[in-house]
Structure 1
Amino acid sequence: MVGRPDPASVGTVPPPGEGYSARHMRSLILIGHGSHLNGESATAVYRYADLIRERGLYDEVIEGYWKEEPSLRQVLRTTASTDVTVIPMFISEGYFTEVVIPRELGLGHQGPVPPGGVARVIGGRTVRYTLPYGVHPSMTDVILARAREALADFNPQDTALIVLGHGTTRNENSNRVIYHNADLIRQAGHFAQVEALFLDEDPKVGTWPERITAPRVVVVPFFASEGWHTLETIPEDMGLTGDVTSFRENPHGQQTVYYARPVGTHPAVADVILHLAQEASGALAQDGDVERGHEYAWQAVLERARRGLRMGELVITPDSGVYEIRHMLDEGRPGGDLRTLVTPEGVRDTVRRDDGGDHRPVHTLRNLPRGWRAVLSEADLRRALHYVYPAVVEETYAHSCHALRATPWPTTARRQTGIYTRVQKATPEQVEHVAGEVCKSCLRTRLWAGEKLAHTFLDGVPGGIPCAEACTVLVAEVREEVSGKRGQAGGHSH
């Protein structure tokens, strides 16, 4: 688990106000983009969830993702409270925060989010959806803190700053926060020159040698996490070889570039998140309670776990008031031969990769890593099972109560926008061909494709897990199939 940040490293972001005593049951959801290919994409969201969870201000802090699990379509079902605040862990307003996330959550809202957020009642839960944390005014201080880490003695005489954003042609709002922060820092006079540059729109980052005249240049990526772009794309486009790179023959003479870590991984972001949650808390009356359907589902699982339970590839064994969980194929091995985990976060970090070290965006694939055991209390068992199989308990229980509604492929396809609109052109044969390859190693039964599931792991069938809707991995693969790029190098979606 990530520890508390050193106060000296938090920068100038003030601590949240006094309105955080947990007087009733309430949940906080942090929504990240995630990735089908890169496990590091989700790391920042997990880190902030850990930091906020440690503060004890919410009864639970849950992570949800566009490209990983629990998915945006599942995540509300995994909350234990009827009072839910959702923070989009994105760096700017744009396509994902204004279109994708509200659509997938079922908020009934599209377009710019007002300063106080959007509040809806969904399935008996009061759901508050806020602006992305990146537009909070305190993020200017985070940019400066990252710049100081990269070059402690920057000054207005010889140092330029590049605030580097992603940019997109899909939404004109996405670059606004980049320009706004660059303007504020320029007006403050901290640097000889301040430029806003982008990966996917003009002015592009590759033009920096022509634009920047100062001999020292600090580059601060205004990105939410450390990932493909910050580790690969940006260094390649700028010609960087490390944290500090010297260029001897640039148009304006010799220049040295200092490459900072992305703003989204700074510990002060935890306070920004809490400020956003507090500002949205007055949207509707706070009267959160235990969500009964969720609690019934977990009580059903725990009742069976007290007698021993097989769930997916896991075997759960009660032992003197605690529970041991391990891979079924490790059953019978002496505990001393296995790595022992004692926290839900330890389980989470272990099961995110398979035995070969590859990222597992779909947790119900039959590639759960082996060689570990976790010994946990009943409360920690709940969280650990959520990490191993996100949303599986809630969806399986709903299916056993005939309350899980399957979403047929045509409905899922019609809901897609942007680059995924193309999946609407897929023929049934194409969808089934791709599903036959993508889904063959998954424990789930495809209810969305008309398959029947008579018995679940709640009935003693370990692999009995329902799949109510095609996952984002399948959607991405169908898009590649329709585009004729499936199986080609670089053809997969991040």
Structure 2
Amino acid sequence: MRSLVLIGHGSHLNGESAVAVYRYAELIRQRGLFDEVIEGYWKEEPSLRQVLRTTASTDVTVIPMFISEGYFTETVIPREMGLGHQGPVPPEGVARVIGGRTVRYTLPYGVHPSMTDVILARAREVLPDASPEDTALIVLGHGTTRNENSNKIVYQNADRIRESGQFAEVQALFLDEDPKVGTWPETVRSPRVVVVPFFASEGWHTLETIPEDMGLTGTVTDFPDNPHGHQQVFYAKPVGTHAAVADVILHLAEEASGAGGPGGDTERGHEAAWQAFLKGARAGLRIGEVLVTPELGVFELRNALDEGRPGGELTTLVTPEGVRDQVRFTDGGEHRPVHTLRNLPRGWRAVLSEADLRRAMHYVYPAVIEETYAHDCHALRPTPWATTARRQTGIYAKVQKATPAQVEHVAQDVCTGCLRTRLWAGQRLTHSFLDGVPGGIPCAEACTFVVAEVREEVSGKRGGGGHSHSH
């Protein structure tokens, strides 16, 4: 058995942030090379702290879904996942045994040499007859002053393409460092210019910032009066959304340290947790806000508040992905980064096989079944707030200054709306949903949403009681 885990950044505010990772997970799942493909996030669920618990196999490969090396891939992900590694990741990755699982952690997909082909594919989509006679290529990176590694990959790709002789000139330009993208009319001479954004996803930068900085009006823009004469710019889609990235991810997984072995076994704690859940599901079970009802050979999921409503009044979902997309937003259309908040949308039912029920529940309440079972077996160790705070770095380091009263003030505001019981704050959970108490769900550690809100509280930006949305 083998598990593949794709790690994205995610967002507390924006539901679009996670979509690219979901898409690649689906593409890879269809190929059947791994027994399971699981998504994990820094700012959504399952969190980096929980995600290993959700893998069914003892052989796990973890791939950071980032376009370049940097703070997240070198500091945050290894720290939060307990990999015991900090700093640059060697080309073959890092392998560790964690709680009986062999975990391989690779470089981010964006630094793989085959990304050069993805850049060229994006260039040809937007200008099929690009030629070394009259066409320039701009590889456009984000750039940052925080980590010198992040621009390296943009230069490497530009060099590789330059050496291949497919374009008259190849330039690496950046949004946030020199040479800046706005200087392109002075530096690029060719009459036709293809711009390929070396970005992970379509977003603010690719849709707004870059077109603004370059003066683009669409996919093709004419510049009749540039310093080097008339120029036409062809603006490609970002590399990170190309379907070929799925191949790059699989290459990385194959090349990961020790990946060619026989694979792993079923992870016993994980399997026992799901068997306990399925036993309850076969009898009918309420977990949090969800009702699980057995029907002839299948299972129905619905919001418990919709109990008794005829199926015809509800939207019927038949895949785990359908459930995932349904529960990611509240009835009011708000993004739900924390799935155990009491705001599960209503008006739907899912009819699923037993295999699909497992995946659907993983989307509805990520890590809840594994953590609750571990708690009931006295194997879930809470992490006190002070330990979580000490681990934070970068912009979150300031939560270390929070007073107990400030932390409690945030918790009263945020955690009161959550189904979980705060073991990390010393609360006790005597019965769980596995014992028939629907809201019996443990919280072993303050989530990243709470950490972000505590940071706002310490900065004096949270205002009275309402959620601030500046993170």
> Under a length normalisation based on structure 2, what TM-score does the superposition of the two structures give?
0.94
Q: Structure 1 residue 106: deviation in Å?
A: 0.6
**What SS does the aligned partner of 1:231 have?**
helix
2:324 to 341, 348, 367: 348
Q: Which residue of structure 1 aligns with residue 31 of structure 2?
A: 55
1:292 maps to amino acid: R
Q: Deviations over 1:31-51 (max 9, x none)?
A: 111122222221111111111
Q: Structure 1 residue 123: deviation in Å?
A: 0.2
Q: Structure 1 residue 344: deviation in Å?
A: 0.8
Distance 1:199 1:480, change over 3 A: farther
Q: Which residue of structure 2 aligns with residue 18 of structure 1?
A: none
Matching of residues 101-140 of structure 1 within 5 Å: 101-140=77-116
Q: Which residue of structure 1 aligns with residue 202 of structure 2?
A: 226
**What SS does the aligned partner of 1:174 have?**
helix
Mean CA deviation greater in 368-377 or 210-219: 210-219
Distance 1:391 1:37, change over 3 A: same
Q: Structure 1 residue 218: deviation in Å?
A: 2.0
Q: Structure 1 residue 65: deviation in Å?
A: 0.8
Distance 1:233 1:450, change over 3 A: farther
Q: Structure 1 residue 244: deviation in Å?
A: 3.0
Q: Which residue of structure 2 aligns with residue 357 of structure 1?
A: 333
Matching of residues 143-162 of structure 1 within 5 Å: 143-162=119-138
Q: Deviations over 1:267-319 (max 9, x none)?
A: 11111111111111526854511111101111111101111111111111100
Q: Which residue of structure 2 aligns with residue 202 of structure 1?
A: 178
Distance 1:467 1:204, change over 3 A: farther
Q: Structure 1 residue 387: deviation in Å?
A: 0.6
Q: Which residue of structure 1 aligns with residue 434 of structure 2?
A: 458
Q: Which residue of structure 1 aligns with residue 297 of structure 2?
A: 321
* Contact 2:158/2:172 (<8 A) preserved: yes
Q: Which residue of structure 1 aligns with residue 274 of structure 2?
A: 298
Q: Which residue of structure 1 aligns with residue 408 of structure 2?
A: 432
1:191 to 167, 173, 186: 167
CA–CA distance in structure 2, aligned partners of residues 50 and 149 of structure 1 = 23
* Contact 1:455/1:461 (<8 A) preserved: yes
1:398 aligns with 2:389: no
1:37 aligns with 2:13: yes
Q: Deviations over 1:208-265 (max 9, x none)?
A: 3443333433221112222333233333433434333344555555543322211111
Q: Which residue of structure 2 aligns with residue 256 of structure 1?
A: 232
Q: Structure 1 residue 92: deviation in Å?
A: 1.3
For these two proteins, the number of residue pairs brought into alignment is 469
**What SS does the aligned partner of 1:470 have?**
coil
1:211 aligns with 2:161: no
Distance 1:377 1:457, change over 3 A: same
CA–CA distance in structure 2, aligned partners of residues 272 and 115 of structure 1 = 14
Distance 1:491 1:317, change over 3 A: closer
1:78 aligns with 2:54: yes
5+ residue gaps in structure 2? Answer: none
1:96 aligns with 2:72: yes
1:28 aligns with 2:17: no
Distance 1:150 1:358, change over 3 A: farther
Q: Which residue of structure 2 aligns with residue 171 of structure 1?
A: 147
Distance 1:291 1:377, change over 3 A: same
Q: Which residue of structure 2 aligns with residue 19 of structure 1?
A: none
Q: Deviations over 1:178-201 (max 9, x none)?
A: 110011112223223322122332
1:482 aligns with 2:470: no
CA–CA distance in structure 1, aligned partners of residues 358 and 293 of structure 2 = 14
Q: Deviations over 1:85-144 (max 9, x none)?
A: 111111111111111111111111111111211111000001111111111111101001
**What SS does the aligned partner of 1:30 have?**
strand
Distance 1:234 1:457, change over 3 A: farther
CA–CA distance in structure 2, aligned partners of residues 113 and 355 of structure 1 = 42
Q: Which residue of structure 2 aligns with residue 441 of structure 1?
A: 417
**What SS does the aligned partner of 1:175 have?**
helix
Q: Structure 1 residue 78: deviation in Å?
A: 0.2
CA–CA distance in structure 2, aligned partners of residues 426 and 349 of structure 1 = 36
CA–CA distance in structure 2, aligned partners of residues 484 and 52 of structure 1 = 44
1:338 to 288, 295, 314: 314
* Contact 1:119/1:283 (<8 A) preserved: no
2:139 maps to amino acid: V
2:42 to 52, 60, 66: 66
2:431 maps to amino acid: H
Q: Deviations over 1:430-477 (max 9, x none)?
A: 222222222232111211122222222112222221111111122122
1:186 maps to amino acid: R
CA–CA distance in structure 1, aligned partners of residues 39 and 439 of structure 2 = 25
CA–CA distance in structure 2, aligned partners of residues 154 and 460 of structure 1 = 65
Percent of aligned positions with the same letter in both sequences? 81
Distance 1:435 1:195, change over 3 A: farther
Q: Which residue of structure 2 aligns with residue 277 of structure 1?
A: 253
CA RMSD of aligned residues (A): 2.1
5+ residue gaps in structure 1? Answer: 1-24
Q: Which residue of structure 1 aligns with residue 285 of structure 2?
A: 309
2:175 maps to amino acid: L
**What SS does the aligned partner of 1:473 have?**
helix
**What SS does the aligned partner of 1:37 have?**
coil
CA–CA distance in structure 1, aligned partners of residues 469 and 322 of structure 2 = 33
* Contact 1:341/1:375 (<8 A) preserved: yes
* Contact 1:38/1:227 (<8 A) preserved: no
* Contact 2:94/2:257 (<8 A) preserved: no
CA–CA distance in structure 1, aligned partners of residues 370 and 330 of structure 2 = 24
> Under a length normalisation based on structure 1, what TM-score does the superposition of the two structures give?
0.90
